[in-house]
Amino acid sequence: MSVFKIGFSEAIQNLFTPQAKSSVSLFRHGTLEVKMYAPRKQDPQTPHTRDEVYIVAQGSGTYFYAGERQPFSPGDFLFAPAGVEHRFENFSDDFFVWVLFYGPEGGEKDSGPLVSAS
């Protein structure tokens, strides 16, 4: 298998097509699915059936997760286990985030973080 690489500018170009919405799927391998997500004005998402990782590519705002709010900025890693309410709030107009869905429906068993979260 050859190396697969997609850059940020390539990924966001896929959002700006007549068929695209606020999210576009970019890569799949096994249970892993990688998307670029760019909600505009408000984030309408509901809890997902699989575990999900976000890596903020651009922009800033507030991450709502299980009743708590945390500011985010570029480079931040955010996690949402399957079934937990989460969304982005008060985000900047230039907000883009990498999304990684993985694992089985219902999520994986929690083994806890390796480092303490801030």
Residues 6+ apart with CB under 8 A from 59: 74, 91, 92, 93, 94, 95, 96, 97
Range of 79's domain?
8-102
108 falls within a domain = no
57 falls within a domain = yes
Confidence of residue 20 (pLDDT cuts 50, 70, 90): low
74 falls within a domain = yes
* Per-residue pLDDT reduced to its tens digit, 43-84: 999 999 999 999 999 999 999 999 999 999 999 999 999 999
pTM above 0.85, yes or no: yes
Our count of domains for the chain comes to 1
CA 56 to centroid of chain Cα atoms: 8
pLDDT of 117 above 80: no
18 falls within a domain = yes
115 falls within a domain = no
46 falls within a domain = yes
Report the run of H or E that residue 25 belongs to, with start and end.
Answer: strand 23-29
84: domain CATH number is 2.60.120.10
What pLDDT, on the 0 to 100 scale, is given for residue 17? 75
3 falls within a domain = no
Higher-confidence residue of 4 and 3: namely 4
What pLDDT, on the 0 to 100 scale, is given for residue 51? 96
94 falls within a domain = yes
